[in-house]
Every structure is written in structure tokens, then in C-alpha cells.
């Protein structure tokens, strides 16, 4: 028995009319006498669009809080039309939202918005990332002696922003009170999930450079960190370790 | 092929916000059900919660994204993800829908309807066979809630499902809320649907809430939104089904406007009491 390779015209017409409310209801649709096909078909149209808007809202709550419900929904509709989901795992839907916002003229007055979306995408990525034990305090002597190597934790992600996006994200997700932002300097942020809870913390100078270069080796990472003005290597290591940026060693020392 | 079954008691569709209350004490429930698609990340809280639930209760994994009812070929990558969830948690049951959602690579995130024709029957039966082959398990296929029908349909829905089961050996998941919603929407008789349905193939029952469209139109329109208590006529249909076939694993789904845990549990306990009385009558 061969599986047909192409979807039938019926499914194609149904899907197209679902995604575009401007299209007429396909002629093969039937409903009870006296009923308008548009009314019945709109249930599918609403389900598709409302469920996808809901999925975006769940993934980007701070963006939604910043721009407000009406703006968010209108933006989400346009985003969905341009970047519909390519598979059934909703956690993977909406990846290009930050880039979409960056090129979305109505949001141009909020230049930090794309980075807020990037931070929210990393929070969800950390939430679902692979589990691993984080580096613990009692690993530190072995680390200092070179007996174990530093490895980045699989649920640890960096974001460098020229905006104070961690502050904006905290204020718009209920972590801290809304207030006027005094300091508009950029922030380097670590999103991590050493256990089951995701956290996002501000990193000291040089920590992002250290983590980004860690793959090359510890000496290169230290050198990259120390290139950054104000970097203090012991402070960097302590901050990264405490935030859950590193894995426990594979073999216990 | 694995052919396990859930215990013939009441279960609940798991919502993460209820986890702490569920874990705090042994719940008077026979099983939990989860949507496969919510457990396709590598790790973290979803898997920690599901592993804990699985250790204490029977488990049903319910897929929403395989698109068994569509003409498009099955997404083999997604099928592999479903298999990974089943392999990891070894559920007593895996079920999916007679519906589709993917067209031209775009996933529409809804359970879309299909015409009931001989040609479609052949494709759906092939999809069910492929899924059962890949998972090494018998599948339960769920009857849909629908809002429209198709001009080209020639086979009644109950007969369509019966024929798929006959060709593939799959079981059926009877959603009595869907039966009621579809009957009202199409002006047909829910009891006549049950009369035509191959009830002996039912491996699980779903109970859920629906909404009534309030748009002032003359004809009633019910929407399967899983956002309310189970309606009285749906409880009556449920009682009628288990009167006919005895107790069956029965699940309460509440996915939108999710209530506090005691409210959801009370709905499941109501189902449990009906199952108990069906059990006494059968004994």
C-alpha cells in the first residue's frame, strides 16, 4: 500500500482557508440546513489562530506585557502568517519572533524589544534543555589543581544586549516591581537551569567572554575574559559557578 | 505488539500546575493522561514531573500532532519523537485522533476534520498501521468533535472508525463529549451514533466540557473547548455507554480555564462513582 506523496486538494483548500480569513469557505464544506458555512468554518479559523497566538503569548509574556494585549495579538497574527509552525511541538514554535520584531516598523520605538524576546526564548530553551548536575563547591579544589576540566552546562545560555533587558524582563514578568529604568547600560545575562528552576542573572565584566571561549580551553577563556575592562577572574568563576553555568565533572574527583 | 491496558477506573488529564497537590498525597485515581507533544524536550521539569507521576500511577500518552487523518504522509521525525516518549515512560495506553493538522509543512495546531470516503479510509488505515508498527503498540483512535461535514463523505463516522479498526487491529477511544458536540452541531442523534459505534473496541472514554457559541444565530453550535465541567447530557451518554459495555478507563479532560485541583478531581470522582455502579451491575 503506497502512501500518497501529495496532500489532496481538499486538505490544501481547507488549510488555506483556515489560515486566511479572506478566502471563501471551500465549496465542499457542508453544514445543517439554514446554517451559514462561514459560521461553522470560523470555529476552525479561530482555533488555529487563537491557539497559535496563545502559544506565542505563553513563550513571550514580557514582550506581551510591554506592548499590551492588542498590539501583541496584532503582531502575533502577522508573525504567524509569516512564520507558521513547522511541526507539532509548540515549544519549538516562534523561534524567529525576536528577528521578526527587529524588522517590524510598528515596534521600532521599542529597540530593546527583540532582546527581551531573545531572553524569553532562552528561558524556555533552558526549561527544556538536557539535565546535568551542576558544578558544586566541593569540586573547586580539583578544578584548581587541574584534575577536572570546566564544561558548560547544557541548560546554560548567554545573552549580550546593549539594553538592560534583564531589568526589563524582571519588571514585566512580576519578578520585581515596575519602575522607571534609571540605568540604560547594556547587560550580559546568563540563563541557566542547574536543577529544575530556570534563573537569569546579570554577569560581571568578562564572564560572557569567558564562557563563550571555554570550548577553546581554559587558558583561552581566561585570556578572553581578562581582555574585558574591569574583569576579575575569581569573581567571574564564582559568579558563573554559582549561577549554574558549569557541569559537574564526569568522573568524580 | 504491546497490548497493555489502563485500569478500568477514572483518570485525569495532567496539568503541571496541579503537580504539587497531586504529589502531596495518593490520589483516588486510576491513571493520568498527558499529551505526548508536551514531553518532547530533552529534560527539565516536565520530565521530572512525568517520571514522578509514572512511578505512582498508570499512564496514558495521548498524541495530538501525528495527523493520522490527513492525506499528507506521516512526519517520521515526529513519529520518532512520539516513540521516544512511549519508550521512556512505557505507558499502558497510547492514543491519537481521527484528524489532521499539517499541510504543506505548516502545522495548524488544531484537530481538523476529514471527508469519510473509501479513498481516505485507505490512507488513514495505512497511517494507523504505520504508527502501530513504529511504536510496537496497539493504538486507540479517537472520534473527533466536528463543526462541518464534507460533500464527498459517503461513510458514517462510526462505520469509518470500525473499518479502520478492522483493517489495522487498533482500538478506539470514545470521546462522549465529542459524540454530543458533533450530534448537536450536525442535527443528528447521539444515541443513534452510539448504536452504530463498535463499543466492544473501546479501550478508553474521554469526558470533557464544551462551550455554546453565543452569537445569536438560530442553529446551536457547540465548541469542544475542554474549558468547563462535563455537561449533564454528556454524563448521561457516558452512563449509557458503561451500562452497555461495563467499566472502561475513563478520563476527564480540562485544558482551558483549568480549575483548582479539587474541582478537577471531583469531576473524575463523579466518573469513578458511575464506573463503580456499572461494575456492581456487571458483577
Higher-confidence residue of A137 and A50: namely A50
Any residues with CB less than 8 A from the CB of B103 and at least 6 apart, and which? Answer: A7, A11, A12, A14, A15, A16, B70, B72
Cβ within 8 Å, pair A19-B108: yes
Confidence of residue A253 (pLDDT cuts 50, 70, 90): very low
Chain B residues whose CB is inside 8 A of the A35 CB are 217, 219
pLDDT at A242: 95
- Cα gap A143→A218, rounded to integer Å: 11
Mind telling me how many Å the CA of A227 is from chain B's nearest CA?
A: 35
Helix locations, chain A, DSSP H: 9-19, 37-59, 61-67, 69-82, 97-102, 113-128, 140-144, 165-171, 207-213, 218-226, 233-243
Cβ within 8 Å, pair B71-A11: yes
Of A35, A89, A131, the CB nearest to B43: A131
The conformation of residue B28, written as its DSSP 8-state character, comes to: S
Q: Where do the structural domains in chain A lie, given as residue ranges?
A: 1-110, 129-253
pLDDT at A251: 62
First to last CA, chain B: 31
Which residue does chain A place closest to B108, by CA atoms? A48
Checking if the pLDDT of A5 tops 50, the result is no
- Cα gap B235→B176, rounded to integer Å: 8
The per-residue pLDDT for range A215-249, each reduced to its tens digit, is: 999 899 999 999 999 999 999 999 999 999 999 98
Cβ within 8 Å, pair A131-B147: no
Burial A98-126 (b: 16+ CB within 10 A, else e): bebbbebeebeebebbbbbbbbbbbbbbb
Of A28, A131, A197, the CB nearest to B152: A28
Cβ within 8 Å, pair A88-B123: no
Of B41, B108, B122, the CB nearest to A15: B108
pLDDT at B131: 98
Of A32, A89, A126, the CB nearest to B186: A32
Cβ within 8 Å, pair A87-B75: yes
A59-63, A66-70, A144-148, B260-264: segment of lowest average pLDDT: A144-148
Q: ipTM of this predicted complex?
A: 0.94
Which residue does chain A place closest to B77, by CA atoms? A87
Which residue does chain A place closest to B130, by CA atoms? A3
Average pLDDT over residues B209-230: 93
Chain A residues whose CB is inside 8 A of the B223 CB are 43
The per-residue pLDDT for range A61-110, each reduced to its tens digit, is: 999 999 999 999 999 999 999 999 999 999 999 999 999 999 999 999 99
Cβ within 8 Å, pair B101-A127: no
Q: If residue B207 lies in a helix (H) or strand (E), which one and from where to where?
A: strand B202-208
pLDDT at A1: 45
The per-residue pLDDT for range B125-164, each reduced to its tens digit, is: 999 999 999 999 999 999 999 999 999 999 999 999 999 9
pLDDT at A4: 45
Pairing of strands A199-202, B222-223: unpaired
Checking if the pLDDT of B185 tops 90, the result is yes
- Cα gap A53→B83, rounded to integer Å: 28
Which residue does chain A place closest to B215, by CA atoms? A39
B204 CB burial (10 A radius; 0-12, 13-18, 19+): buried
Higher-confidence residue of B3 and B248: namely B248
Cβ within 8 Å, pair B187-A27: no
Which residue does chain B place closest to A92, by CA atoms? B41
Checking if the pLDDT of A2 tops 50, the result is no
pTM equals: 0.94
Residues linked to residue B85 through DSSP beta bridges, in sequence order: none
Mind telling me how many Å the CA of A181 is from chain B's nearest CA?
A: 32
- Cα gap A38→A26, rounded to integer Å: 10
Confidence of residue B14 (pLDDT cuts 50, 70, 90): very high
Checking if the pLDDT of B215 tops 90, the result is no
Chain B residues whose CB is inside 8 A of the A86 CB are 105-107
Mind telling me how many Å the CA of B229 is from chain A's nearest CA?
A: 20
Of B71, B77, B101, the CB nearest to A8: B71
- Cα gap B186→A225, rounded to integer Å: 68
Chain B residues whose CB is inside 8 A of the A47 CB are 109-110
pLDDT at B2: 62
Of B72, B147, B213, the CB nearest to A7: B72
Cβ within 8 Å, pair B108-A48: yes
Confidence of residue A34 (pLDDT cuts 50, 70, 90): confident
Chain B residues whose CB is inside 8 A of the A41 CB are 147-148
Chain A residues whose CB is inside 8 A of the B109 CB are 47-48, 51-52, 55, 85, 88, 90
Cβ within 8 Å, pair B44-A15: no
Cβ within 8 Å, pair B151-A55: no
Q: Are B70 and B51 in contact (CB under 8 A)?
A: no
Q: Are A192 and A126 in contact (CB under 8 A)?
A: yes
pLDDT at B3: 65
Checking if the pLDDT of B167 tops 60, the result is yes
Cβ within 8 Å, pair B110-A47: yes
Interface with A, mutate which of B147, B182, B212 (most A CBs under 10 A): B147
Answer CATH for B10-282 from 3.20.20.150, 1.10.1750.10, 3.30.365.10, 3.40.1360.10 = 3.20.20.150
Higher-confidence residue of A253 and B30: namely B30
The per-residue pLDDT for range B42-91, each reduced to its tens digit, is: 999 999 999 999 999 999 999 999 999 999 999 999 999 999 999 999 99
Residues linked to residue B11 through DSSP beta bridges, in sequence order: B31, B251
Mind telling me how many Å the CA of A180 is from chain B's nearest CA?
A: 32
Amino acid at each position: 500500500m503506497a502512501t500518497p506523496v501529495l496532500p489532496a486538494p481538499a486538505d490544501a483548500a481547507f488549510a488555506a482557508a483556515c489560515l486566511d480569513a479572506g478566502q471563501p469557505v471551500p465549496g465542499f464544506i457542508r453544514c445543517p440546513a439554514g446554517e451559514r458555512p462561514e459560521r461553522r468554518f470560523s470555529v476552525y479559523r479561530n482555533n488555529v489562530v487563537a491557539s497559535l497566538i496563545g502559544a506565542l503569548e505563553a513563550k513571550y509574556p514580557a514582550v506581551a506585557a510591554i506592548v499590551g494585549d492588542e498590539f501583541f495579538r496584532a503582531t502575533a497574527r502577522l508573525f504567524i502568517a509569516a512564520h507558521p509552525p513547522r511541526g507539532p511541538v509548540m515549544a519549538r514554535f516562534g523561534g524567529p519572533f525576536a528577528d521578526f520584531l527587529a524588522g517590524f516598523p510598528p515596534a521600532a520605538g521599542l529597540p530593546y524589544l527583540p532582546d527581551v524576546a531573545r531572553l524569553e526564548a532562552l528561558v524556555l530553551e533552558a526549561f527544556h534543555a538536557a539535565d546535568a548536575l551542576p558544578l558544586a563547591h566541593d569540586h573547586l579544589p580539583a578544578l584548581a589543581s587541574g584534575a577536572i576540566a570546566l564544561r558548560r552546562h547544557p541548560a546554560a545560555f548567554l545573552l549580550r544586549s546593549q539594553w538592560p533587558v534583564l531589568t526589563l524582563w524582571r519588571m514585566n514578568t512580576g519578578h520585581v516591581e515596575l519602575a522607571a529604568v534609571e540605568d540604560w547600560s547594556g547587560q550580559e545575562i546568563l540563563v541557566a537551569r542547574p536543577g529544575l528552576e530556570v534563573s537569569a542573572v546579570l554577569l560581571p565584566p568578562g564572564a560572557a567572554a569567558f564562557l563563550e571561549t571555554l570550548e577553546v580551553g581554559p587558558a583561552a577563556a581566561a585570556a578572553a575574559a581578562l581582555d574585558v575592562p574591569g574583569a576579575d577572574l575569581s569573581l567571574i568563576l564564582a559568579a558563573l559557578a554559582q549561577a549554574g553555568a558549569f557541569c559537574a565533572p564526569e568522573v568524580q574527583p | 505488539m504491546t497490548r497493555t491496558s489502563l485500569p478500568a477506573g477514572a483518570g485525569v488529564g495532567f496539568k503541571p500546575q496541579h503537580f504539587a497537590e497531586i504529589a502531596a498525597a495518593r490520589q483516588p485515581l486510576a491513571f493520568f493522561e498527558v499529551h505526548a507533544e508536551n514531553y518532547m524536550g530533552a529534560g527539565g521539569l516536565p520530565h521530572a514531573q512525568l517520571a514522578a507521576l509514572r512511578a505512582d500511577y498508570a499512564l496514558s500518552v495521548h498524541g495530538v500532532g501525528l495527523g493520522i487523518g490527513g492525506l499528507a504522509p506521516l512526519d517520521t521525525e515526529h513519529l520518532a519523537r512520539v516513540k521516544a516518549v512511549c519508550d521512556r515512560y512505557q505507558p499502558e495506553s497510547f492514543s491519537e485522533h481521527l484528524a489532521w493538522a499539517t499541510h504543506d509543512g505548516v502545522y495548524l495546531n488544531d484537530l481538523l476534520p476529514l471527508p469519510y470516503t473509501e479513498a481516505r479510509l485507505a490512507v488513514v488505515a495505512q497511517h494507523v498501521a504505520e504508527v502501530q508498527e513504529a511504536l510496537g503498540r496497539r493504538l486507540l483512535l479517537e472520534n473527533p468533535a466536528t463543526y462541518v461535514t464534507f460533500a464527498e463523505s459517503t461513510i458514517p463516522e462510526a462505520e469509518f472508525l470500525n473499518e479502520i479498526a478492522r483493517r489495522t487491529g487498533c482500538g478506539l477511544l470514545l470521546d462522549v463529549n465529542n459524540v454530543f458536540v458533533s450530534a448537536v452541531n450536525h442535527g443528528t442523534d447521539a444515541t443513534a451514533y452510539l448504536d452504530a459505534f463498535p463499543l466492544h473496541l473501546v479501550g478508553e472514554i474521554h469526558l470533557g466540557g464544551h462551550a455554546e457559541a453565543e452569537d445569536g444565530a438560530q442553529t446551536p453550535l457547540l465548541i469542544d473547548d475542554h474549558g468547563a465541567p462535563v455537561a449533564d447530557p454528556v454524563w448521561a451518554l457516558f452512563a449509557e455507554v458503561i451500562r452497555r459495555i461495563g467499566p472502561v478507563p475513563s478520563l476527564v479532560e480540562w485544558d482551558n480555564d483549568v480549575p483548582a485541583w479539587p474541582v478537577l478531581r471531583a469531576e473524575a470522582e463523579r466518573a469513578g462513582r458511575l464506573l463503580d455502579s456499572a461494575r456492581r451491575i456487571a458483577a
